Amino acid sequence: MKTVSILPNALTLANAGCGILAISKAIDALALSGATAGAAGEQLFDRKLEEACWLIVLAMVFDALDGRVARMMDSFSDFGAQLDSFADAITFGVAPAILAKVVLEHEGVFHPRMNFLAVAAFALMAILRLARFNLETERDEESHSQFRGLPSPAAAGMVISAILMYLSIGGTIEVLGGSATPLGKGLQYLPQWLRSGLADLLVPGLAFLMPLLGLLMVSRVRYGHAASTLFKRHGGFQNLVALVFIALGLYIAPVPVLFFTGVTYVCHGIIADRIRARAEGDRADKSDRAA
């Protein structure tokens, strides 16, 4: 086997470690909520599940860094590519599915078999998407600027942000040390019936979201690389302004910013792909008429 570069592969392993730890936290959340009665059990469930969600977000940072570091060091290898896909399968395929299963089982909205089918569809499509990505993608920077199908980190981020929204609106995570976060203070102005209703909608919505995201991952819808677009060398003043506002939003209210950013990214890819396909069809019709 050729020489293996340490730093990019260590970042990839950190990504996988975050995914494994997130699964462990999700199992702890379900176990502790069952062993502790009342509000205390619910609070333990919310906190452990929140920790699991943020571990997936941290893994996304490691995933964004490992490829960039490998390109900077010119240390691409087949070993690194395979390791990256295995890590992504755990962290962005299996781990979000486990977290979603924990939420669905905790709330008991659907039959356990229906819950399993929803999360299994997501995890299996993520694995298929990663296998296809390995076969179709070259190692150069240009091939990573756009993807065919929703990237698995983005799909996982959408699942995680939906779970965090559920924990924010209907749970206890917006109270830290006895005082409410900025989002928590804003939620206090909402009537309790409205908060409960929104939280109740998010759980069954999660069950329908999982297979939908799975299908988008194996689709041919084109998605841009968000991090590469934002941090590209000649991105200009607009990207800097966008970065500042994103950072401020994440500081004040990270959960809704993550959620609506995810929704925007997923929907933008679908809409842009439809517009692009229509424009290409119109150009083809014009060339046929001209001929």
Do the domain assignments include residue 204?
A: yes
Pairwise CA distance, residues 142 & 135, whole Å? 16
Do the domain assignments include residue 191?
A: yes
Do the domain assignments include residue 195?
A: yes
- The tokens of 213 are what? 């995201």
Pairwise CA distance, residues 97 & 59, whole Å? 15
Do the domain assignments include residue 26?
A: yes
Residue 217, domain extent: 6-221
Do the domain assignments include residue 246?
A: no
Residue 105's domain is classified under what CATH number? 1.20.120
Q: Give me the helix-helix angle, 112-136 and 192-217, nearest 10°.
A: 40
- CA dist 290 to 142, 278, 280, 285, Å? 33, 18, 15, 9
Q: What is the pLDDT of residue 56?
A: 97
Q: What is the pLDDT of residue 145?
A: 64
Pairwise CA distance, residues 53 & 212, whole Å? 20
Average pLDDT per consecutive 10 residues, the chain (291 residues; last block may be shorter)? 73 95 94 78 88 96 85 75 92 97 89 94 96 75 72 95 91 72 78 81 92 94 74 65 83 90 91 84 67 59
Q: What is the pTM of this model?
A: 0.88
Q: What is the pLDDT of residue 234?
A: 57
Pairwise CA distance, residues 4 & 121, whole Å? 34
Q: How many domains does the chain have?
A: 1
Do the domain assignments include residue 17?
A: yes
Do the domain assignments include residue 279?
A: no
Q: What is the pLDDT of residue 287?
A: 67
Cβ atoms 90, 18 nearer than 8 A: no
Do the domain assignments include residue 229?
A: no
Q: What is the pLDDT of residue 139?
A: 58
Q: What is the pLDDT of residue 291?
A: 59
